[in-house]
Structure 1
Amino acid sequence: MDPIVIGGVAGAIGSVVTALTTQFFMSRTKALELRHADLVDARQRRAEESLARQSQVRRSYVDLNSSARELLATLTDLLRAVEADEVRDDERNALEQARYDYRICYAEAQLSASDEVLTAASSVDKALTNLFGVVKRFDKGISRDGESFRGAEKKRQEIWGRLSTLRSLMREDLGVSGSPPGES
């Protein structure tokens, strides 16, 4: 065979092999790039979902804290008004609205709070519910044996302590360190 033909055939085979090899490596590189892009997208989606969940939990905690404090404040207002025998419908209506708002926030927290926070929130809820019953019975003039304004005041003070504990646990769960400004 002629060396020129052999060289031509070898060159042609080399060109085909080079083209095939280049195509193979380009396809492989493109597949790796696509896989990497998919991994980056998945990580970014997970990070965004995590941030959204953290934001939702934070909002739930803020709402629970503020609504529990508002319910306790309206319970205090009605308790003081009943004790002074100066109850107005404004106090009753404010209490019912605060209780309604609180119940919604507590229900939301039941679905988003950590177990530790939920245990503390449940303790606050039971104490608020108990005080609500006492105050409503005082308001209707049908208090039970052993119920007194002094006892109601003691329960009210205990709830503030439970709220403080709950708030600390919520802050810890959110990764906020230390006490809020002005508290110790």
Structure 2
Amino acid sequence: MELQPHFELMASYNQWMNTKVYDVASKLTTAELSEERGAFFSSIFGTLNHLVVADTIWLKRFAMHPSSTARTLAVMIDLPMPQRLDQVMFDDLEGLKAHRRWLDTVIINWVGALTDDDLSTTLSYHNTKGVASKRCFSSLIFHFFNHQTHHRGQISTLFSQAGVDIGVTDLLALIPDEMEI
């Protein structure tokens, strides 16, 4: 099975959903975004920051992959490595939103350059606790996108608690209908 088209779909879905999330977040006040809601990262804003932290960590790891496509992630290398999973990368929604848009563009460009050879290799890295790992690169990319979906699901619930509806969130909305001829 060729995986790259699936990763392209996931990158598009990621960008589409992040746009929706930030559009809804823009309708809330700073107090509503920062309100403790019992989520793992406390608030809507805390969870949005966590997604930027985690994406930054993974993209910096992916930039170290020995493949030629890692060059598309060279922009990530000079970014500081987040020190904690709950680190606040931006303390205002507009700064966070602009960075999120930039990250989503980086992700789309990187995924578009992936090759089957890249996907069939392994990636050696250290987790945030310093534990060394060596895992299948394509499986790590699946994790990367699944992690985003997981936390956006939490954000969707937090939006519901705040009385706002994010609308359709299903990946199915981006999968084209295959009409029989």
Interval containing the TM-score (normalised by the shorter chain) = 0.3 to 0.5
Q: TM-score with structure 2 length normalisation?
A: 0.37
Greater strand percent: which structure?
2
Greater helix percent: which structure?
1
Relative contact order, CA 8 A, sep 6+: which one is greater?
2
